Amino acid sequence: MKGADKSKNTDRQTAGQGPHAVTVRDLTRTFGDFVAVDHVSFDVRKGEIFGFLGANGAGKTTTIKMLTGLLAPSSGSGTVDGLDIVSQRRAIRSRIGYMSQRFSLYDDLKVEENLFFFGGVYGLNRAQVAGRVADLEGMLSLSAFARRVTGSLPPGQKQRLALACAILHRPAILFLDEPTGAVDPIARRYFWDLISTLAGGGTTVFVTTHYMDEAEYCHRLSIMYAGRIVEIDSPAGIKKKYNMASVEDVFIHLVDR
C-alpha cells in the first residue's frame, strides 16, 4: 500500500506542524442533564490525518456537529480554519468538506449529476465542476462510471463519488464520519490511499472510524470515552505509553470499563 504505508507514521507525526486547522478548548454539549461532550480540548495541525476514536455514544458525532456548525456548543470554544465555531458557522461551511458513512448522494441521479449538484451547493458553476472533476480523474477515476445511475453503483464507487463531492470546492479541512463503514476491505484500503494523497497535498483530514487498522494510518489519534478525551498521541506514542502491540489493545484497555 503506497500512500497509507504504516512505516510512514513516524514522518507523519511531524506533518503539518505550524498553524492549527482546528482548535478546541473546553468544548461541552449537554442534552438536558446528560453531558454528551465534556470539556474537550485538542488541536489538529494543518495537513494532519487526525483519527477521532471512541466507542458508540462516546460523543464523536456531537463534537463533529459542533465543529461543522450543525450544533451549538453549551460552553467552551473552538476554531476551524481560524474561524470561530459559534460566530462564523456559515463561513466555516465553505472551508470544510464532510462525508459520512451514509454518503448523502442522490441515488436516482447519474454520477455526473450528483457532481454538478454538489458543486452547485458549494457555489461552483458547471465549467468549474467539470474542471475540478478532470483534475481529480487521476486520483478517483470517475469518468468510467460518470453516466451511470448512482444507486446502481457498487459501494466502493459510491464512496469515491461521495469523496469527490466532498472535495470539489477544495476544502481546507475534510471531516469524515465513519467513511468506510459500508465498503469491503479492498475499497477501504484504496480509500486510505486517497486520504493519504489528500493529506500529502495539504488537506487536513479529521476522521472517525471503528476500524483499528485504519487508526494506525493516522498521524495522531484521540480516544474518547463518555464525553471526554482520555488519550491523544500518535499511534506509535500510544502503543509505547501503554506497552501494547496494537492501537486496538490500547483502545479496549481505555474504553472497556
Ligand X SMILES: Nc1ncnc2c1ncn2[C@@H]1O[C@H](COP(=O)(O)OP(=O)(O)OP(=O)(O)O)[C@@H](O)[C@H]1O
Residues that bind ligand X (CB under 6 A): 31, 34, 36, 54, 56-62
CA-based nearest residue to 54, from 184, 189, 221: 221
Q: Which of 52, 145 has the CB closer to ligand X?
A: 52
Q: Which of 36, 173 has the CB closer to ligand X?
A: 36
Cell numbers 461551511 correspond to what residue? 93
What's the min distance (Å) between Cβ of 210 and ligand X? 7
Q: How far apart are CA 130 and CA 116, in angstroms?
A: 8
Q: Which of 56, 87 has the CB closer to ligand X?
A: 56
Question: Burial code of 238-252, b = ≥16 C-beta within 10 A, e = fewer?
Answer: bbeeeeeeebeebbe
Q: Which of 59, 171 has the CB closer to ligand X?
A: 59
Q: Which of 96, 168 has the CB closer to ligand X?
A: 96
What's the min distance (Å) between Cβ of 184 and ligand X? 21
- DSSP annotation of 130 reads H
Helix (H) or strand (E) holding 207: strand 204-208
Contact call for residues 235 and 244 (beta carbons, < 8 A): no
Q: How far apart are CA 66 and CA 45, in angstroms?
A: 18
What's the min distance (Å) between Cβ of 16 and ligand X? 25
What's the min distance (Å) between Cβ of 226 and ligand X? 9
Cell numbers 473552538 correspond to what residue? 78
| Lookup: cell for 33 | 442533564
Q: What string of DSSP letters covers 19-70?
A: SEEEEEEEEEEEETTEEEEEEEEEEEETT-EEEEEE-TTSSHHHHHHHHTTS
What's the min distance (Å) between Cβ of 227 and ligand X? 7
Q: Which of 36, 221 has the CB closer to ligand X?
A: 36
What's the min distance (Å) between Cβ of 64 and ligand X? 8
